[in-house]
């Protein structure tokens, strides 16, 4: 009798998993379509003439751009040069380079630009990016303060485009459209397509008031507000995520300007990519725990009711499907080995060009692929001139990204569960 109940339980669990697979895939697909439709409804986000896409205030604010550095001797010069090339009044722009205890020639490379009155270079003991930002915060009295990572560059019109958004006094921060720098290998081509889809995601989330990340490459803030909330925190090595949550916790608004183009260096090796994504995911999970009072709370609008819950659910969905893939692969291999042992034959693979699976799961997978392609296309259309082509690495992203994601998600979840921390320079 007990064996019979076990068999029934196994059958029930298998059927439940099948239903759960369809439900989770549908939820994921529904959310993607929802934010796509939400964005498309805002026709103004697709400017016909880029030159007429923004209107500057009568009085421009003063701006300080912080470049936090740690062992960036090979890239810091290029970063500073891109800031010096910004189309913005010289008397209103200051560039604060903070060498956070580098052990290479970063300080010397940056100091070569101090002949320009806009550039100030400081050296301090290593304390992490948040400490470098707070060090610069104490040195500035500008109306706006921003950050540009020392491995990134910015388009000459990016600052004016972002400043134009601040004409609304309720805006606390504005994020840019982030692109990957020119890819040189397989992984970087894959990331270029990913970043293009992220341009869509940031624009869509900002449009529904649910942005919770103010990324390091050229996010700009109202200085007074940053000082009011106490500056940046370590925040599990993701200070750019935590400050976004903290600002919205007190009712501030974060917007996005996708036409403000920033180009950032992406990891070129699998190890570097996985380490970066583990840090990002770990930081999100730990900050979500720290700000758990926002989750499901209507006080925080779409951020609490939609964005954070769906971000958490998406991690669970990705791990569920990867687990199912591993399980099905193991079962299929076991069945094939049994077939070989019993029949003494390796079998034959027959390709039927007229066969097309009509199962619900297969249909949802095909639709999901089409939607992801659509998101990349929309992200390209939102981008600045010269970045509106569909990345050549899009097929690589669609085919391979799903196999890489579970690696860093599973490690990050394990580390977040046991609060082991992550290492970052």
**pLDDT per position as a tens digit, 379-424:** 998 898 889 999 999 999 988 998 899 999 999 999 999 888 776 5
Q: Which of 109-113, 176-180, 199-203, 261-265 has the lowest mean pLDDT?
A: 199-203
Max mean pLDDT range (126-130, 309-313, 384-388): 126-130
375 pLDDT band, cuts 50/70/90, is confident
Tell me the whole-structure pTM to 2 decimals: 0.87
Looking at residue 5, its pLDDT comes to 46
Name 124's bridge partners. Answer: 100
Q: What is the pLDDT averaged over residues 16-27? A: 60
Q: What are the Cα distances from residue 325, in Å, to 142, 359, 402?
A: 53, 17, 11
26 vs 205, residue with greater confidence: 205
Looking at residue 332, its pLDDT comes to 80
Tokens of 330: 């193991």
Looking at residue 115, its pLDDT comes to 96
Residue 257 near residue 182 (C-beta atoms within 8 A): no
- Geometric angle at alpha carbon 273, from 272 and 277, rounded to 5°: 115
- Mention every residue, 6+ apart, whose C-beta is less than 8 A from residue 53: 47, 161, 259
CATH 3.90.550.10 correct for 61-269: yes
40 pLDDT band, cuts 50/70/90, is low
Name 68's bridge partners. Answer: 98
| Beta strands at 253-264 and 152-154: parallel, antiparallel or unpaired | antiparallel
Percent with pLDDT over 70 in the chain: 83
| Beta strands at 171-180 and 220-222: parallel, antiparallel or unpaired | antiparallel
Domain ranges of the chain: 61-269
Residue 64 in this model has a pLDDT that exceeds 50 = yes
- Mention every residue, 6+ apart, whose C-beta is less than 8 A from residue 109: 73, 76, 77
Looking at residue 50, its pLDDT comes to 55
Looking at residue 11, its pLDDT comes to 42
- Distance separating alpha carbons of residues 252 and 393, to the nearest angstrom: 37
Q: What is the pLDDT averaged over residues 269-296? A: 96
């Amino acid at each position: 009798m007990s064996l019979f109940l076990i068999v029934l339980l196994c059958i029930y669990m298998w059927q439940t998993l099948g239903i759960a697979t369809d439900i989770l895939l549908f939820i994921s697909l529904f959310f993607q379509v929802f934010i796509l439709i939400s964005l498309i409804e805002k026709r103004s986000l697709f400017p016909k003439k880029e030159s007429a896409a923004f209107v500057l205030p009568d009085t421009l604010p003063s701006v300080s751009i912080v470049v936090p550095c740690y062992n960036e001797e090979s890239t810091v010069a290029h970063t500073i040069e891109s800031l010096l090339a910004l189309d913005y009044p010289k008397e209103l722009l200051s560039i604060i380079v903070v060498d956070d205890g580098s052990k290479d020639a970063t300080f010397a490379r940056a100091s070569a630009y101090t002949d320009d009155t806009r550039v100030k270079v400081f050296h301090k003991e290593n304390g992490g990016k948040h400490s470098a930002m707070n060090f610069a915060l104490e040195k500035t009295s500008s109306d706006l303060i921003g950050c540009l990572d020392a491995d990134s560059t910015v388009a000459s019109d990016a600052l004016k485009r972002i400043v134009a958004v601040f004409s609304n006094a309720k805006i606390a921060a504005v994020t840019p459209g982030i692109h990957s720098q020119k890819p040189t290998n397989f992984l970087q081509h894959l990331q270029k397509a990913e970043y293009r889809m992220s341009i869509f995601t940031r624009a869509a989330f900002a449009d529904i008031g649910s942005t919770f990340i103010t990324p390091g490459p050229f996010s700009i803030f109202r200085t007074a507000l940053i000082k009011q909330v106490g500056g940046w925190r370590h925040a599990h090595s993701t200070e750019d995520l935590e400050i976004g949550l903290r600002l919205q916790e007190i009712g501030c608004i974060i917007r996005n300007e996708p036409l403000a183009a920033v180009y950032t260096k992406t990891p070129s090796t699998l190890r570097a990519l996985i380490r970066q994504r583990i840090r990002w995911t770990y930081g999100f999970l730990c900050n979500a725990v720290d700000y758990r009072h926002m989750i499901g709370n209507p006080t925080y609008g779409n951020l609490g009711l939609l964005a954070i819950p769906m971000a958490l659910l998406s991690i669970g969905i990705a791990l569920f499907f990867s687990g199912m893939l591993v399980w099905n692969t193991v079962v299929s291999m076991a069945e094939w080995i049994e077939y070989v042992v019993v029949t003494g034959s390796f079998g034959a693979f027959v390709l039927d060009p007229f066969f097309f699976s009509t199962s619900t799961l297969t249909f949802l997978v095909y639709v999901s692929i089409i939607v992801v392609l659509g998101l990349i296309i929309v992200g390209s259309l939102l981008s600045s001139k010269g970045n509106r082509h569909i990345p050549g690495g899009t097929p690589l992203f669609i085919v391979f990204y799903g196999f890489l994601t579970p690696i860093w998600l599973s490690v990050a979840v394990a580390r977040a569960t046991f609060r082991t921390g992550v290492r970052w320079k």
